[in-house]
Amino acid sequence: DAGVIQSPRHEVTEMGQEVTLRCKPISGHDYLFWYRQTMMRGLELLIYFNNNVPIDDSGMPEDRFSAKMPNASFSTLKIQPSEPRDSAVYFCASSLLAGGRDTQYFGPGTRLTVL
Amino acid sequence: GQNIDQPTEMTATEGAIVQINCTYQTSGFNGLFWYQQHAGEAPTFLSYNVLDGLEEKGRFSSFLSRSKGYSYLLLKELQMKDSASYLCAVRLYNNNDMRFGAGTRLTVKP
């Protein structure tokens, strides 16, 4: 398997623009997670899905952020409008059924810079 | 809230042993994970503990005490390539919802 795939790897945009980040989880994984990582706040969970259904979005910072998972092989995280404070690395991760040693496998991340 | 605390930075010498501590206070507990993250890369899984005691895997070992809310990662025979951030993460419930500590940046010097 190719692992978790994210695109784009780097994104530079101007304040106020819409940004869409994409993720393809590992085939067969039931859980998908979106994280944001900054030097100040570390790795923060934004939202996660189970079988394409959002389970917990309490980590989404505000209404400018939205996430969808239209099918088992694709998810998007959208920021509209973007702000400079959204600059961070955004990771997508996926995992099998919960429990035991099942761990999350992370994608390579999208480095977002909002000017 | 969920609190997971680790030292921010540590430095050790090549060939030595280093212990990275993690303490946690969370609303639930269903396993503790350690991840390694090299600069500019994604976190990768290192170890998992759900019962008290020591889990050994090659040069890396991880210990857990649930009653104390405490874990440590032990790295032996340090190599330069072990310079990375080490993230402690707690799985809260039986749903793979994990919360991460801020990470400990380890620098291995010759």
Q: Give the separation between CA B89 and CA B22, rounded to whole angstroms.
A: 9
CB A85 within 8 Å of CB A59: no
Work out the pLDDT band at B94, boundaries 50, 70, 90.
Answer: low
Q: Write out the E strands in chain A.
A: 5-7, 10-13, 19-24, 31-38, 42-50, 53-56, 65-71, 74-79, 88-95, 105-106, 110-114
Q: Which among A37-46, A47-56, B7-16, B38-47 has the top mean pLDDT?
A: B7-16
Q: How far is A60 from chain B (nearest CA, A)?
A: 14
Q: How far is B110 from chain A (nearest CA, A)?
A: 26
Residues 57-76, chain A, touching B (beta carbon < 8 A): none
Please give the pLDDT value at position A56: 86
pLDDT in tens, B31-49: 999 999 999 899 999 999 9
Cis peptide before A81 (omega within 30 of 0): yes
Whether residue A107 has pLDDT greater than 70: yes
Chain B residues contacting A via beta carbons under 8 Å = 30, 33, 41-45, 48, 87, 91, 93-103
Mean pLDDT of all residues in B82-108 = 89
pLDDT in tens, A59-94: 898 899 999 999 999 999 999 999 999 999 999 999
Of A48, A101, A107, the CB nearest to B42: A107
Mean pLDDT of all residues in B50-79 = 96
CB B89 within 8 Å of CB B66: no
A3 phi-psi bin (left φ>0, alpha ψ -120 to 50, beta other): left
